[in-house]
Amino acid sequence: MKAAVVTDFAQPPHYGEFPEPVAGRDGVVVEVLAAGLHPRVRSQAGGFHYTSTGELPLVPGVDAVVRDPKGQIRYAVLDDTTMGSMAERTVIELGRSVALPDTIDPVVIAAAMNPAMSSWVALRRRIDFGGHQRVLILGATGNAGRMAIQVAKRFGAAEVIAAGRDAAKLAELPALGADRTLTFAELAQAAEVDVVIDYLWGEPTAKAMVDLLTHRSDRGKPLTWIELGAIAGPVAALPAAALRSARLQIVGSGIGAVPGADFVKELPALAEAVAQGAFDVRAQAVPLAQVAEAWASTGASDRIVLVP
Ligand SMILES: NC(=O)c1ccc[n+]([C@@H]2O[C@H](COP(=O)([O-])OP(=O)(O)OC[C@H]3O[C@@H](n4cnc5c(N)ncnc54)[C@H](OP(=O)(O)O)[C@@H]3O)[C@@H](O)[C@H]2O)c1
């Protein structure tokens, strides 16, 4: 069958032949309708995600909208194996999928679920988010950040402050529900927030943390910092004194920090919300045959979705 195939972690996937998937004990072979090219998939295909086993060749793709053998359309998350979702067919576990109505647009679902799941699961499963808290989103102009604005509002946040580096993209965010937007240079103005949803890490996070903590009027007031992505760097140098001088709690949210079963439990409600059009979703469908060109297109704001 045709698939996106990685034979060398230093090269982008190419469109080529890959052996037909085998169902195995718990799996079922399904037809892939749409698979999102998320940052997580780039790190999988590059061999640098923390779950990478280093095994090649592999088909990348960590989730997909599929049609099962009974004709049911599903959204499925996949294990990290060499048989990912960017292929004509793949293997899923039915227990790690959710059935969807025939009326959904597979491309929209495939684009939205991974970025939306990050903040949805973090606020539902990783921290005690009762709503009425003030939330700052670092990296709010990306797909996950844009979703986080909408998710935090949906869960009752008292205020959502969206921070990013691109002024033109920031200007679009009030339409999604952001109460305020800030550049990274202005983060002292967000010093009173209760929760930070952080997709950046690296140098911007280290600077942001100091800016917030040093400008906080009451340093005894809890601040929960949720680490969700490291798009600006894998390491952040945090000054010890800043941590000691405020009631800061840093937690991560991802597979491992949250049990896989808890992610799966959140799939139906999130998929239903996406299917009902609750979120503004930016998606660009690209034929699977153009996977190499899609990989080269890193600056696009819309989430690329490969369609076999
Ligand atoms: N833990 C989880 O459950 C989970 C789930 C989904 C995603 N994630 C992670 O979340 C991160 C964001 O994903 P995404 O889907 O939003 O990606 P995306 O759509 O590509 O957006 C990337 C965002 O990061 C910003 N950015 C990139 N490099 C930067 C830098 N050097 N300094 C400051 N900002 C920078 C971009 O700003 P511009 O708009 O200005 O380019 C944009 O806002 C990724 O690391 C991804 O792996 C985690």
pLDDT tens for each residue of 47-101: 887 778 889 999 999 999 999 999 999 999 998 889 999 999 999 999 999 999 9
Name the nearest CA neighbour of 26 among 96, 82, 89. Answer: 96
Letter for the amino acid at 84?
A: G
**Residue 241: in which H helix or E strand, if any?**
helix 240-244
Q: What is the pLDDT of residue 264?
A: 93
Kindly give the number of the ligand 1 atom that is closest to the alpha carbon of 169. Answer: 39
User: Does pLDDT of 301 surpass 90?
Assistant: no
User: Does pLDDT of 271 surpass 80?
Assistant: yes
The β-bridge partners of 5 are 14
Residue whose CA lies nearest to ligand 1 atom number 5: 118
Distance in Å, CA 41 to ligand 1 centroid: 13
User: Does pLDDT of 299 surpass 90?
Assistant: no
Average pLDDT over the chain, rounded to an integer: 95
Residue whose CA lies nearest to ligand 1 atom number 40: 166
For a mutational test of ligand 1's pocket, the pick from 231, 251, 264, 281, i.e. the residue with the most ligand atoms closer than 8 A to its C-beta, is 231
Mean pLDDT confidence for 175-179: 98
Distance in Å, CA 144 to ligand 1 centroid: 7
**Residue 291: in which H helix or E strand, if any?**
helix 291-296
Distance in Å, CA 142 to ligand 1 centroid: 5
Q: What is the pLDDT of residue 131?
A: 80
User: Residue 292 and residue 15: Cα distance in Å, rounded?
Assistant: 7
- CB burial class (10 A; 0-12, 13-18, 19+) of residue 171? exposed
- CB burial class (10 A; 0-12, 13-18, 19+) of residue 53? exposed
CA contacts within 13 A on the Cβ side of 141 = 18
Coil, strand or helix: which one is 141? coil
Mean pLDDT confidence for 250-261: 94
Tell whether omega for the bond before 268 is within 30 degrees of 0, i.e. cis: no
Mean pLDDT confidence for 147-163: 98
User: Does pLDDT of 290 surpass 80?
Assistant: yes
Mean pLDDT confidence for 21-34: 94
Q: Phi first, then psi: give them for residue 76, nearest 5 degrees.
A: -135, 140
**Residue 183: in which H helix or E strand, if any?**
strand 180-183
CB–CB of 151/119 below 8 Å?
A: yes
Helices (H) and strands (E) in the chain, counts: 8, 15
**134 or 242, which is more confident:** 134
How many angstroms separate the Cα of 41 from the Cα of each of 6, 44, 174? 12, 5, 29
Distance in Å, CA 51 to ligand 1 centroid: 19
Task: Please report, rounded to a whole number, the percentage of residues in the chain having pLDDT higher than 70.
Answer: 100
User: Does pLDDT of 225 surpass 80?
Assistant: yes
Mean pLDDT confidence for 152-178: 97
Distance in Å, CA 231 to ligand 1 centroid: 5
Handedness of CA 46, 288, 297, 180 (dihedral sign): negative
Mean pLDDT confidence for 186-205: 97
Q: What is the pLDDT of residue 2?
A: 98
CA contacts within 13 A on the Cβ side of 267 = 24
Kindly give the number of the ligand 1 atom that is closest to the alpha carbon of 298. Answer: 20
- CB burial class (10 A; 0-12, 13-18, 19+) of residue 57? middle
Distance in Å, CA 139 to ligand 1 centroid: 6
Share of the chain residues as helix, strand and coil, in percent rounded to the nearest 5:
35, 25, 40
DSSP state of 189: G
176 pLDDT tier (thresholds 50, 70, 90)? very high
User: Residue 216 and residue 222: Cα distance in Å, rounded?
Assistant: 11
Residue whose CA lies nearest to ligand 1 atom number 21: 142
Relative to beta strand 27-36, strand 63-67 is: antiparallel
